[in-house]
C-alpha cells in the first residue's frame, strides 16, 4: 500500500485515462500525482498472471493454490471460499510476509481490482507463483448460475 503523501506516477493506456485516474485517486486521499506515462511507451513491464474462475474451481483441493481473499471483513462475512485465507487489502502489506512463497497463491476480491493490487504487491516482493482471479467472487458466483 502507498502512503497518501507519497508521490505517484500513473501508467495509462491513453492520455484521457490520466485525468480520470487523478480524480479517482484524489477522492481517496492520493493527491500527489506527479504525472503519467502511456503504457505503450514502456519497454518492459511485467504482466500479472490471471487465473480464471474455471481454473480455480478445477484446482480447489488440498494440492491446489492457497486462496487469499482481500475483501473487507463485511464482504468476507457474507460469503467466502472454503479454505481461503482472509487478508483485507487495507492490511495486506503488513500481513503479506506471512504468506508462503513455496506454493501457488490465488488472490481474489469482489471483482478483480483489489486482488490485482495485492497480486502486484506480492510480485514486487519476489513471489513468482501468484495470480489474480479474474472477475473475483462476482464471477465465481455467476459461474454457479
The pTM of this model reads 0.71
Backbone angles phi, psi at 9, to 5 degrees: -115, 135
Grade residue 43 by pLDDT with cuts at 50, 70 and 90: low
Say what the pLDDT of residue 12 is: 83
> What length does the chain have?
145
Does residue 44 carry a pLDDT above 60? no
pLDDT digits (tens, 9 = 90+) for 51-70: 999 999 999 887 899 999 99
Strands 85-86, 66-69: pairing is parallel
Identify the structural domains of the chain with CATH numbers, from first to last. 8-41 (no CATH), 49-143 (3.40.250.10)
pLDDT per position as a tens digit, 58-110: 998 878 999 999 999 999 999 999 999 999 998 888 888 899 999 999 999 99
Count of Cβ atoms closer than 10 Å to residue 56 Cβ: 21
Amino acid at each position: 500500500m502507498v502512503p497518501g503523501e507519497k508521490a505517484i506516477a500513473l501508467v495509462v493506456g491513453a492520455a484521457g485515462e490520466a485525468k480520470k485516474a487523478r480524480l479517482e485517486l484524489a477522492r481517496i486521499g492520493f493527491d500527489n500525482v506527479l504525472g503519467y506515462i502511456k503504457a505503450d511507451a514502456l519497454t518492459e513491464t511485467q504482466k500479472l498472471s490471471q487465473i480464471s474462475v474455471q481454473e480455480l474451481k478445477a484446482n480447489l483441493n488440498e494440492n491446489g493454490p492457497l486462496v487469499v481473499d482481500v475483501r473487507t471483513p463485511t464482504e468476507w462475512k457474507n460469503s467466502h471460499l472454503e479454505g481461503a485465507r482472509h487478508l483485507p487489502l487495507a492490511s495486506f502489506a503488513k500481513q503479506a510476509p506471512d504468506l508462503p512463497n513455496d506454493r501457488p497463491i490465488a488472490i481474489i476480491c469482489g471483482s478483480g481490482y483489489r486482488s490485482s493490487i495485492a497480486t502486484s504487491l506480492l510480485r514486487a516482493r519476489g513471489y513468482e507463483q501468484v495470480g489474480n482471479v479474474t472477475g473475483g467472487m462476482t464471477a465465481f458466483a455467476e459461474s454457479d448460475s
